[in-house]
Chain A
Amino acid sequence: MIVETGHFALVLALVVAGLTMVVPLMGAMRGDARLMAVANPGALAQFALLALAFAALTAAYVGSDFSVQNVYENSHTDQPLIYRFSGVWGNHEGSILLWVLILTLFGACVALFGRNIPEALRAVTLSVQSSISAAFLLFILFTSNPFSRLFPSPAEGRSLNPVLQDPGLAVHPPLLYVGYVGFSIVFSFAAAALILGRIDAGWARIVRPWILTAWVGLTAGIALGSYWAYYELGWGGYWFWDPVENSSLMPWLSGTALLHSAIVMERRDALKIWTILLAILTFSLSLLGTFLVRSGVLTSVHAFASDPARGVFILLILCMFIGGALALFAARGPQMAGGALFSPISREGSLVLNNLFLSAACAAVLIGTLYPLALEALTGDKISVGPPFFNATFLPLCLPVVLAMPFGQQLAWKRGDLLSIASRLFIAVLVGGLTALAVAATTHGTDVVAIIGLGLGVFVVVGSLDDLRVRAFRSGAANALSRFAGLPRTVIAAAIAHMGVGLMVIGISATAFHEERIAAMAPGDKVQLDGLDIVFGGARRVVGPNFAATVANFAVFDGGAKVAELHPGKRTYVGRTMPTSETARLTRGLGQIYLAIGDSHGDKVDVRAYWKPWVLLIWIGPLVMSLAGLLSLTDRRLRIAPPRRVRKAAILEAAE
């Protein structure tokens, strides 16, 4: 009964979405406030219905109702509760349901917190948002119904893919979707602005918090996925240039560009055409990612579905929304005249540079991801585009962006003075250069790219924070503290976010200095890493709730003293044949000792052991960036809503 309620909620949500798609739009066209007023309750109702459907599916999972096909295929009574719970989105149907849930969540948030948004803009935005949810609800109901029943009902389920039985999975997809799908509301705002023909600085001011929210989720979600791959997949890599990873990186890159171009639009009323186009492209890339992952065009660890009907359906949705938005853009774009003028050497100019290179980097990822598919479809030739290609194209395109960050932060609006900033950044250049020299000296200059990368990372960290120092000490040391306290939070957040980029660059560059030991070890054998002795103590069999495992025992000695025990293992889950690896890690400072085991021969076990200095910075960097984004969201300008009087006046005016 609960399951049918969920199914019914989905159908009802489709009807509500259809209504909310049409009525407020008509209201905005006719200037009828009563019709526009349908938008808010419509958006809220959609979210409530999706939440109900999601709760129904969750109840079926937690209660192990195997008469539901989706539950039967992805759950098992032996699974710990958290994985019966997170299993809801560990499959195609459930994850699309989560996708639409978050889509409607953003609509509901606009309805709830969008008091400062002009009535017509809000109504049309929610219309567009509802059209997206209507399209995806049709997709769910016709091709991916999570509520399909099985008869007769099996006694036991087939269990969740063991790779996905990890706490990481409980958080990674929801966070990632907040970003991925969050850009839908930005897209809807852009389409609404085009429909209404009102594109100005006020629009950018309204939309920027939503861009920021989506960006925060996407940044954290990608970082979390990367850390999960690092410890779960067993060879210590953190980014594989897998098409699915690329699908999330592309919206991140264009979303980051959008975040910056919207600043120019908000402050200077310039770059309007470009900002609107980016808003459309960013969500288009999210849709493209959804298509690539969900259609099974790429078969990889994330592709749960490989059903052509689904692929064609998503492709249709993709063409409809991207094509529609771009056509609207082409029709209205020429009417958007540019705003204030600026010199190339200025804050605006530096943000244009940021946008140029981020767009080119995004294009490199897009082409690298799609080119093999296109080539095979057109000529039948198969080529591979892997990490070496992306390292050769993507990284050089990112270099100018990172290098220019500390400069851009300090440049004045309209017309800046590069020389005076360069002299102010002297300390940062010095510290970065000395770091590079010191690393080069201690490692005998083996890896030039990594040494430059480390120097660059340190330069960015110091240079980003230097901006705050300069601003605080502008009128002498006496009131520096109070000046610092008085800085807008957006300024502080920008410095911290840029510092996060620097930290990430340091972490990534340091991977060149990883130490690796590969050995077949018998009990009593040891390997040395980072001055520590790692002694193998033997392996034993262990039986868990839904798996059998081999667990190896390692003791870590510093000098003569034992500092830790590590237990890497291999697990074979019930109902599956292939084992999964359980790595063991020991954190020392910002680095990690990383152990994974392979096959056993007699009492010998194949061991891969790493010392990875500074490795945690790879994820601390993006985490810092996300937190800085949250800090920016608390800025005074965003917290304080415009006086209510204005809104009432606007309603009265619209009603007349």
Chain B
Amino acid sequence: MKRSLLAAAIVLWATLALALAPSERLADPAQEARARELSAELRCLVCQNQSIDDSDADLAKDLRRLVRERIVAGDSNAEVKEFLVRRFGEFVLLKPSFSIRNALLWLLPLVVLMFGFVASRRLFARRTSGAGPAGAAPLTDAEQAEIDRLTNPHS
């Protein structure tokens, strides 16, 4: 049962030939463009990792209608998102807001980068290291010659 449900979900995910039906669209092209832009940033809550713009699920259809209603009612993009977050929670946003809770998510890549920069500065700064690998088996002369030959193939 679980398997077949899963299979159904898989197929559902992949059969969304036409997410946005022609009849759903707004007459005003500028408003419709805004609706499309917003739809791409909102999650279809019952789908796997899909925006409501891509999804054919009924819920996505309802959300698309809701987004268009709010736009026609005069909401700004931020207000539409706020409205949906109040109703459905932050889960609905495909791009999580920047908050204390999500700080790690947004900042960790930068932390990795900074750490890398600091580490690589030490790489350039470390000008005096003549010490060979202590504790490792030392190379025999033949092996050293082999390495020299391998690393300088043209000499």
Which A residues lie at the B interface, using CB under 8 A? 73, 161-163, 196-202, 205, 232-235, 237, 240-243, 266-267, 269, 271, 298-301, 303, 306, 332, 335-338, 341-344, 349, 352, 355-357, 359-361, 363-364, 367-368, 371, 375, 379, 381-389, 392-393, 397, 518-520, 570, 576-581, 583, 596-599, 606-608, 637, 642, 646, 649
Q: How far is the CA of A284 from the CA of B83 in the complex (A)?
A: 41
Q: How far is the CA of A298 from the CA of B10 in the complex (A)?
A: 12
Interface residue? B80 (CB, 8 A): no
Q: How far is the CA of A258 from the CA of B31 in the complex (A)?
A: 47
Sample of 8 further A-B pairs with CB below 8 A, known A360-B113, A371-B102: A161-B7, A266-B151, A352-B123, A360-B116, A367-B109, A384-B49, A385-B94, A598-B21
Chain A residues with CB below 8 A from B17, complex form: 234-235, 570, 579, 581, 583, 596-598, 608
Are B136's CB and A385's CB within 8 A? no
Interface residue? B87 (CB, 8 A): no
Q: How far is the CA of A599 from the CA of B21 in the complex (A)?
A: 9
Minimum distance in angstroms from A584 CB to a CB of chain B: 11
Are B146's CB and A646's CB within 8 A? yes
| Nearest-neighbor residue (CB-CB) of A572 within chain B | B15
Are A388's CB and B95's CB within 8 A? yes
With contact pairs A200-B147, A202-B150, A301-B10 given, residues A384 and B18 touching in the complex (Cβ less than 8 Å)? no
With contact pairs A385-B96, A520-B23, A579-B15 given, residues A337 and B116 touching in the complex (Cβ less than 8 Å)? no
Q: B59-95 vs A: 1/0 string, CB under 8 Å?
A: 0000000000000000000000000000001111111
The residue that A384 contacts in the complex, of B3, B13, B43, B129, with Cβ under 8 A, is: B43
Task: List residues 5-37 of chain B with CB under 8 A from any CB of chain A.
Answer: 6-23, 25
Chain A residues with CB below 8 A from B105, complex form: 367-368, 371, 385, 389
Interface size on B, residues (CB 8 A): 70
Are A389's CB and B6's CB within 8 A? no
Are B116's CB and A356's CB within 8 A? yes
Minimum distance in angstroms from A108 CB to a CB of chain B: 25
Are B51's CB and A197's CB within 8 A? no
Interface residue? B134 (CB, 8 A): yes
Minimum distance in angstroms from A624 CB to a CB of chain B: 27
Which B residues lie at the A interface, using CB under 8 A? 2-3, 6-23, 25, 40-41, 43, 48-51, 54, 56, 89-96, 101-102, 104-106, 108-110, 112-113, 116-117, 120, 123-124, 126-127, 129, 131-137, 139, 142, 146-147, 150-151, 153
The residue that B109 contacts in the complex, of A342, A355, A360, A596, with Cβ under 8 A, is: A360
Q: How far is the CA of A332 from the CA of B133 in the complex (A)?
A: 10
Are A201's CB and B147's CB within 8 A? yes
Are B15's CB and A518's CB within 8 A? no
| Nearest-neighbor residue (CB-CB) of B97 within chain A | A383
Chain B residues with CB below 8 A from A352, complex form: 120, 123
Chain A residues with CB below 8 A from B21, complex form: 518, 520, 598-599, 606
Chain B residues with CB below 8 A from A359, complex form: 112-113, 116
Chain B residues with CB below 8 A from A389, complex form: 94-96, 105
A–B pairs, 23, beta carbons within 8 Å: A163-B14, A196-B137, A197-B133, A198-B137, A202-B147, A232-B14, A234-B17, A235-B17, A267-B151, A271-B123, A298-B48, A303-B6, A337-B129, A343-B124, A357-B113, A371-B105, A375-B101, A381-B101, A382-B90, A383-B96, A385-B105, A388-B40, A520-B22
The residue that A234 contacts in the complex, of B11, B16, B129, with Cβ under 8 A, is: B16
Chain A residues with CB below 8 A from B7, complex form: 161, 576
With contact pairs A232-B14, A235-B54, A301-B13 given, residues A360 and B124 touching in the complex (Cβ less than 8 Å)? no
The residue that A233 contacts in the complex, of B16, B104, B129, with Cβ under 8 A, is: B16
Chain B residues with CB below 8 A from A392, complex form: 95
Q: How far is the CA of A367 from the CA of B112 in the complex (A)?
A: 11
| Nearest-neighbor residue (CB-CB) of A393 within chain B | B109
Are A606's CB and B109's CB within 8 A? no
